[in-house]
Chains A and B, each alone.
Chain A
Amino acid sequence: MSSIHQHEQQWIEGQPTFGGLTDQVSALVENKTPRGWYIALAVSSSLTVVLLALIGYLVTRGIGVWGNNIPVAWAWDIVNFVFWIGIGHAGTLISAILFLLRQQWRTSINRFAEAMTIFAVICALIFPSIHVGRIWFIYWLFPLPNQMSMWPNFRSPLLWDVFAVSTYFTVSLLFWYVGLVPDLATMRDRARTRLKKITLGILALGWRGGNRQWQHYEMAYLLLAGLSTPLVLSVHSVVSTDFATSVIPGWHTTIFPPYFVAGAIFSGFAMVTTLAIIVRQVFSLQNIITVRHLENMCKIMLVTGLMVGYAYGVEFFIAWYSGNIYERFTFLNRAFGPYAWAYWIMISCNVLVPQLFWFKKLRTSIPVMFIAALLINVGMWFERFVIIVSSLSRDFLPGAWGYYKPSWVDVGIFAGSFGLFFTLFLLFIRFLPIIAMSEVKGILPQAHAAVDPSAGEHHTRRS
């Protein structure tokens, strides 16, 4: 890790001491539960109940209660799946790739971004699971040895999804937990009730913060970061093959894997930005999650937004260039057909809105970035809607064309998934430290005090 120099940016404002930082972050968990938290939890858990009730309804009545119908056999369920999985990409990107790129600013946001990843993946997993229809046979997704020698189709991208997403979930969870260990130990040492002491003590795995432990910890963290990096790219690449391995115009196109990954990071950062703005405001963390952190996230949204725009453009151009009448029709139909409204929502939110971030004034303005991030999330949901529904609703056989409309169950389940997401997030911010205290301390100037000031040598945490 590079040595720290005077003019290098200080990411944390107000020059907190180590102790001050611990106090500030731990207080959020140790203080009396604020009333607002109960109100928020009441709302989000009510929505979760809606989700569970509607899933029960869906399982008993069958997936006919959704709006899905031939030719649109994949609709909101898959849209929501891809939407949530995409959001789940920012956390691991921040914790793994930005770690490998030595981006110190990640420390202020990585903890809750990783938590968000895990909750988003949980929400995502609901949709394909209930879409299978007979959920009691869901274990058939796994290649379990059985007397009938019945196996899932290993050449099916739907099976790869099972592996890719479950691997991603496992590794993200492990990564998050490993990062939590030193902070759990801090909380354990501060705990006042016996129950908390024991619970946190078990979770902290006997962490004492010795030199040896830190060495192992940092190596484990580096290895996990290395292992997670290909996962960030692979999961959404595999998700993209759900579509791209087919021969449906608008789905079958070679740019899909990197384009989906860019879109996932784009939407993930939009969600992290949304949550970060709320969290820092509500819990007065403006000194830890500074405007400069948010500005960096805006820059990443600008870059990934441009990548997504590039993919839209190239797809459109190649559809024309191919000379293939089906390709050409599909794209003209997207832009000017019955779903043109969805297409132009997508273009405005994903391509035009991020252009605001070219201007420093706008990308450092909290209200602007908050609204922009929300719009990007809307746009990214519509991107999946456009890809999935517009391509299916008008396929090769004009006689089979139709117009898809969601049912109230579709809407309810999607809203309910937000309830689940925010319920989990609220529980997280109440019970776990939402800022990676030990990592933030690592980038404070006093962590890099010169070993021997007279020699002008720099202490490096990791070389």
Chain B
Amino acid sequence: MTQSKEIQPRETPGALASARFGAPAGRPLGDAVSPDAAPAGVDVCESTDAEPRPGPALADVKVQLRNFGFSYGSHRVLKNLNVDFENKKVTALIGPSGCGKTTLLRAFNRMHDLYAGNTYEGEILLLPERINLVGPDVSPTEMRMRLSMVFQKPNPFPKSIFENVAFGLRMRGVKDAAAIRSKVEQSLKDAALWEETKDRLHKPAYDLSGGQQQRLCIARALAVDPEIVLFDEPTSALDPTATLRIEELIESLRSRVTIIIVTHNMQQAQRISDWTGFLYLGEMIEFDRTEKMFTNPGSKLTEQYITGRFG
């Protein structure tokens, strides 16, 4: 299984087309007929043709970057990104500080819309509907309902543990107290926090330790059944033990939800991700299976970065 997937990126477009039709699981019907709908190649950055070519296809794509770019005012931070993110897999974004990886992550749930002067270019297509997440007529609030985010520093609300997890549900109009209770319990269990908090659900979230707070933030993110969970360096403020627990947690979420994680820690990317994207100065230098990326990187720059030559 792993074997066959691993060779996919090396296959020719012809062989791919059949592979694509052979594996229609989770694909929208319109997808196969529209040439525009073909999954963008993961290596498009290195190709010269602007048109998305049917590159190495993923079995099941959740979100697609199409010529995506982003600017803070006149400063263009991300340029011409074309990447597919596989459904229910973990994709890590690595790169030196200032390469734009957090900027990219925050574009998915339109966090940049909160501040003036930011502009998106291109598209981020959310499958199966192929909605352009950053489309000018797409409401950021609506998109944020489908995605969740876990931030760099734990940022629980100064409310009770219970209310922290319940907030997203309340925003989705869930009124039934029993439904909220059971969902809160389930989410805390999913975030491996239930045992520690079940006796003090109505105590302030600030009484928890840093690592527990971050797991609470993960529970809060999971409670709303997101299609994608975005992690922005979720362990950078935590000690090694707490980090390990978060990594185990992400491991347990794999195959349940699509995860995109920004990390400074290359061992972490190696440990937890299926795919890794290496960003440098706002460009996707390389995007490949994590094992390949860390054993046999395709680009000199990637190799230099992952071996600690810079960054």
A and B form one complex: no
Which residues on B are within 8 Å of A, measured CB to CB? none
**Residue positions of A touching B, CB distance < 8 A:** none
